[in-house]
Amino acid sequence: MRLVTISDLEQPQHTKSLLIERAMQLGKWYHEFKKTDTEGYEYTVRIGGDRTRKPGIHASEISRCSRLLTYSVRGEQRIATESNHADANMRMRFSLGNAVHAMVQNEMRRMCARLGGAVSFHDEVKISWELGGVAAQWGVDSSCDGVFVFWIEVDGEALPYLRVGFEIKTKSGPEFEKLVKPDDDHMEQTCLYMAALDLPLMWVFYYNKSNSNWTSSEPPWLFQFDRHLWETTLQPRFGAVHQNAQTGELPPRQEGRHCGWCPYSWTCKPAILTAPQRGPSPVLKNPGALRVLR
C-alpha cells in the first residue's frame, strides 16, 4: 500500500483513504510537538532576491500576469522597481513571510526528528530542468517549501510509502478569517510543484500573523493532485507563454498592485505605477499618535 506518486492516486478508494488519513495526522503531530517545544533552537532565514532568479517559470509568478511570465521565460533582466514606484509595505510583508517560512520549516524538521525516522521532512525542494519531466519541458525554476516522506521498514530496508508536499502561506488576521479553501493562485502554484515533483498530496499551511492560528492537514487544506487544473489551465498557459517568448510577442499587461514589486516594470512601464491616485503604501502608524501632549 503506497501513495508516493501521482499515478498511485489511481488505486481503490479504500486503500487510498487509509493513506490520506495517515497524511492528515501531520497537523495533529505538529500541534502535539508545539505543546512540548521548550528546548532552545535557532534557524536561519535565507532570502534569494529577485536578481538571483534564473530565466524560466517560477511557480509563485504563474497566476499574476502572463506578460511577466513571458519576460521571465525569455530571460529579460530583473531589476528592482524604481524606489518612487516600489511597494515598501509589500516588501515588508514578504520579509515577515520569509521569516515565518524559516520558522515553520525548522519546526517541521524538529517534529519529524522526534518521530524517530517514521517521517522525514525535506525543506526547499528544488525544481529545475535537471529534474527532467515537467520541469525540463516548461523550464521551471522554483522550490517547494517542503515534502514529507513517510517510511516503512521492509526486510531491514526503509522504503517510502507516502509523500505529501507542504506549502506555507502567511495571512493577516482578517484575510485568514475569510479563508474557506486555499486561494486560487495558491492552488495553481502548488499544482505546478505537484506535477514537477510527482507529488500525490499537498498540505497548504496558512499561518495567521495576528494570532498564530494555522490551517490543519485536513481537506480542503490537504488535497490531491488536480489533473484537470494542470491539463486544461496551466499547461496551455505555459505553452502560450513559451510561444510568445519565441515569437517576441508580449501579451497584454495585467496590471494591479503586483506591478509595485514586478522586476520587469522598468521595461513594461504599466500605467498603474504612475497613476496620480495610486499614492504611497501606508507603512507608518498615523504620525498623530506621536504628537507631544501639552
* Contact residues for 88 (Cβ-Cβ < 8 A; gap 6+): 280, 281, 283
Amino acid found at 214:
W
Which residue, 163 or 258, is less far from ligand SF4 as judged by CB? Answer: 258
Host H or E run for residue 154 = strand 142-154
Which residue, 29 or 264, is less far from ligand SF4 as judged by CB? Answer: 264
241-270 footprint of ligand SF4 as x/- string (CB under 6 A): ------------xxx--xx--x-xx--x-x
Distance of closest approach, residue 142 Cβ to ligand SF4, in angstroms? 18
Q: At which residue does the C-alpha cell 486503500 appear? A: 15
Distance of closest approach, residue 260 Cβ to ligand SF4, in angstroms? 9
Distance of closest approach, residue 4 Cβ to ligand SF4, in angstroms? 37
Tell me the C-alpha distance between 65 and 218, whole Å: 31
Which residue, 183 or 255, is less far from ligand SF4 as judged by CB? Answer: 255
Q: Check residue 164 for interaction with ligand SF4 (CB under 6 A).
A: no
Tell me the C-alpha distance between 46 and 206, whole Å: 20
Tell me the C-alpha distance between 121 and 65, whole Å: 32
- Which residue, among 284, 201, 211, 250, has the nearest Cα to 74 in the 3D structure? 250
Pairing of the two strands 119-127 and 157-171: unpaired
* Residues between 121 and 160 with contacts to ligand SF4, criterion CB under 6 A: none
Which residue, 146 or 270, is less far from ligand SF4 as judged by CB? Answer: 270
**DSSP designation for 3:** B
Tell me the C-alpha distance between 238 and 69, whole Å: 9
51-70 footprint of ligand SF4 as x/- string (CB under 6 A): -------------xx-xx--
Q: At which residue does the C-alpha cell 513559451 appear? A: 242
* 180, 205 contact by CB (below 8 A): no
Which residue, 114 or 257, is less far from ligand SF4 as judged by CB? Answer: 257
Distance of closest approach, residue 259 Cβ to ligand SF4, in angstroms? 3
Which residue, 224 or 281, is less far from ligand SF4 as judged by CB? Answer: 281
Distance of closest approach, residue 266 Cβ to ligand SF4, in angstroms? 9
Tell me the C-alpha distance between 159 and 157, whole Å: 6
The residues binding ligand SF4 (CB under 6 A) are: 64-65, 67-68, 253-255, 258-259, 262, 264-265, 268, 270
